[in-house]
């Protein structure tokens, strides 16, 4: 039996407010309860998952960096994991050269030299508004958190290949920072996985579009596999 709780982690320098806006209602409508830790950064994310585990296998996941950490935790502790919701994975294995890692590193440098507003020049629309809300919550830790994320590792494709829990992957088809090809490579490597897509435009208009996509993919991946020779009609 798996827990009805779904523990989801935010992306780099994002927070539990954004996670809740994306996932809370879609999960509730499907009978799940969202747990959105207030953790900041890679180490705290792992600690939050360890704390959330109460002996019953959990569904875990997150957005971007949060998805990476959750998948790595599942690889390390397969007996604790009942499934993964991975929204916007940004790389697999080492981060070197990944667009999201390069963006985080560049942002850290500007934050250190000129401040948050300078780092967000040219970032407009819903994403700019979201970062201007979330980034100040990190205070003096912001640049360090951005650099930590830029240097972190996601599970390799080989490690993903050993993760037997169902995994739902969601991607935006128009997101160059979290490439659709990376999401496809995750799904191809995972034994039980499905992919659903949305767009950044849809996410801007409706945060829950990403949550619905990840949940639908997870439910697809969780569906029983027909026995060999079983006919369907």
Q: Tell me how many degrees the CA angle 12-14-17 measures, rounded to the nearest 5.
A: 155
Task: Give the pairing of strands 193-198 and 167-172.
Answer: parallel
Range of lowest pLDDT (29-43, 46-60, 105-119, 212-226): 212-226
Query: Given a cut of 90, is residue 62 above it in pLDDT?
Result: yes
Predicted TM-score (pTM) of this structure = 0.95
Going by pLDDT thresholds of 50, 70 and 90, the confidence category of residue 224 is confident
Q: What is the dihedral of CA 82, 8, 52, 36, to 10 degrees?
A: -150
Mean pLDDT of all residues in 13-36: 98
Beta strands of 29-150 (E only): which ranges? 33-35, 58-63, 81-87
Going by pLDDT thresholds of 50, 70 and 90, the confidence category of residue 230 is very low
Residue 193 CA to residue 162 CA, distance in Å, equals 12
pLDDT at 3: 76
Kindly list the distances between the CA atom of residue 226 and the CA atoms of 169, 218, 229, 230, 231, in Å, as whole numbers in the listed order.
22, 17, 8, 6, 8
Q: Burial letters for 113-134: b for 16+ Cβ neighbours within 10 Å, e otherwise?
A: eeebeebbeeeeeeeeebbeeb
233 by DSSP, 3-state: which? Answer: coil
Q: Tell me how many degrees the CA angle 74-171-34 measures, rounded to the nearest 5.
A: 50
Query: Given a cut of 60, is residue 81 above it in pLDDT?
Result: yes
Query: Given a cut of 50, is residue 60 above it in pLDDT?
Result: yes
Domains and CATH numbers, the chain: 5-94+154-222 (3.40.50.1820)
pLDDT at 176: 97
* pLDDT tens for each residue of 117-145: 999 999 999 999 999 999 999 999 999 99
* pLDDT tens for each residue of 155-188: 999 999 999 999 999 999 999 999 999 999 999 9
Mean pLDDT, the chain, rounded, equals 95
Query: Given a cut of 60, is residue 228 above it in pLDDT?
Result: no
Closest CA to 101 of 169, 148, 46, 42: 148
Reading the block at residue 134, the tokens are 């979330």
Going by pLDDT thresholds of 50, 70 and 90, the confidence category of residue 231 is very low
Contact 218, 167 (CB under 8 A): yes
Residue 87 CA to residue 64 CA, distance in Å, equals 6
């Amino acid at each position: 039996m798996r827990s009805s709780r779904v523990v989801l982690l935010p992306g780099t320098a994002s927070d539990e407010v954004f996670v809740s806006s994306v996932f809370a209602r879609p999960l509730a409508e499907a009978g799940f309860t969202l747990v959105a830790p207030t953790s900041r950064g890679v180490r705290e994310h792992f600690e939050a998952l360890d704390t959330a585990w109460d002996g019953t296998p959990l569904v875990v996941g997150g957005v971007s960096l949060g998805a990476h950490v959750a998948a790595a935790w599942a690889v390390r502790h397969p007996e604790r994991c009942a499934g993964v919701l991975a929204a916007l994975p940004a790389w697999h294995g080492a981060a070197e050269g990944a667009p999201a890692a390069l963006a985080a590193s560049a942002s850290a440098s500007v934050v250190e030299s000129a401040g948050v507003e300078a780092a967000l020049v040219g970032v407009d629309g819903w994403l700019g508004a979201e970062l201007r809300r979330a980034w100040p919550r990190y205070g003096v830790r912001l640049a360090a958190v951005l650099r930590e994320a830029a240097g972190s590792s996601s599970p390799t494709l080989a490690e993903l290949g050993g993760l037997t829990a169902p995994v739902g992957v969601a991607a935006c088809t128009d997101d160059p920072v979290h490439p659709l090809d990376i999401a496809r490579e995750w799904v191809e490597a995972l034994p039980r996985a499905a992919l659903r897509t949305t767009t950044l435009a849809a996410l801007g208009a409706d945060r829950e579009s990403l949550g619905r996509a990840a949940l639908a993919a997870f439910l697809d991946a969780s569906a029983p596999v027909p026995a060999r020779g079983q006919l369907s009609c």
